[in-house]
Amino acid sequence: MLLNRSFRYWSLLPALLLFAALTLYPLLNLVRMSVSTVAFANGAETWTFTPLRNFAALLEDDVVRPAVVNTLVFVGVSVAIEMFLGTALAIAVAGLSRAKRLVRTVAILPILVPPVAIGSMWKLMYNYDFGIFNQAFVALGAMPVNWLGSTSVALWSVIAVDVWHWVPFVFLILFAAVEGISPDLFEAAHVDGATRRQTLRFVVLPLLRPAIVVAFLFRAILAFKVFDEVFLLTAGGPGTSTELVNLHLYKVFFEQNRLGYGAVLSLAVIAAIVAFLLVSRRVALAVASQK
């Protein structure tokens, strides 16, 4: 049969073609775009070669700086809180005698729900006039807070949503790791007279280290990809107070229609991610192999 004879060659072909057409070719196009000015007129596009223009635009763009700073704050703070709360939750749930399955079931929900729905959910809760937080604040006699409209609060409100969204993910990974620890080790610790705290500190946490590293890397990279919720909640505002790199990319490409300059930003983002991957791989290997 023909399918059989050449199977070892054609089996990889669809994936290779798809990836070449939809990732490699666009990547090359980004490079071409980054040195061009693309204009749309009457449904046709014209490319002009303007090698320096887009790079000059990068220097003149006042939004890049706040976007990068906000993104770093967003990733750093939300991932740190998620790691802490998620690990604590995994250990707490592992110590329950029942309801483990229930917690795990409920924890899956935020991960599977459309991020856009999460955005609209929290948009309702953060609403200044009738959101649940301000209703509670007013009932308690406090001043209502402008959760999404105040420059000093908005970024933290957005971070809180991300924490809510992703603590369950950290929990699921670490819970699987805690449950995977051999019962003999607990028994040995018990026989040696270790207290619960000592068991945690000297048995559980060291054994969780690889899972913690993995969860951390996953979260750091996913947090960097955030777009949907923030687009719905604040779209970067007020001012640039919740502007993130991805939001800015979207605006440059699809609101300002600056394909050339957008390509420069895209390439910078890709380069930054690859650099992060290379560095974190080394760090992760070092941390995971540390005894």
Q: Which of residues 8-37 bind other proteins (CB under 8 A)?
A: 8, 11-12, 14-16, 18-19, 22-23, 25-27, 29-30, 33
Nearer to other proteins, 80 or 178 (CB): 178
Rounded to whole angstroms, how far apart are CA atoms 171 and 175?
6
Q: Binding to other proteins by residue 146, rule CB under 8 A? A: no
Among 145, 218, 237, 284, binds other proteins (CB under 8 A): 218
The least CB distance from residue 56 to other proteins, in Å, is: 19
The least CB distance from residue 132 to other proteins, in Å, is: 6
Helices (H), 180-258: 183-191, 196-199, 205-224, 228-233, 245-250
Torsion from C-alpha of 279, 283, 286, 291, nearest 10 degrees: -170
Is-contact 114 122, C-beta < 8 A? no
Among 67, 208, 212, 259, binds other proteins (CB under 8 A): 259
Site for other proteins in 156-215 (CB under 8 A): 164, 167-169, 172-173, 176-179, 181-183, 185-187, 189-190, 196, 199-200, 204, 211, 214-215
Task: Convert residues 262-291 into a mask of x (bound to other proteins by CB under 8 A) and - (unbound).
Answer: xx--xx-xx--xx--x--------------
CA nearest to 87, candidates 193, 168, 188: 168
> With left for phi above 0 and alpha for psi between -120 and 50, is residue 236 left, alpha or beta?
left
Side chain identity at residue 6, one-letter code: S
> With left for phi above 0 and alpha for psi between -120 and 50, is residue 257 left, alpha or beta?
left
Among 111, 275, 279, 286, binds other proteins (CB under 8 A): 111
The least CB distance from residue 98 to other proteins, in Å, is: 10
Residue 82 structure tokens: 């998620």
Q: Binding to other proteins by residue 227, rule CB under 8 A? A: yes
Nearer to other proteins, 240 or 246 (CB): 246
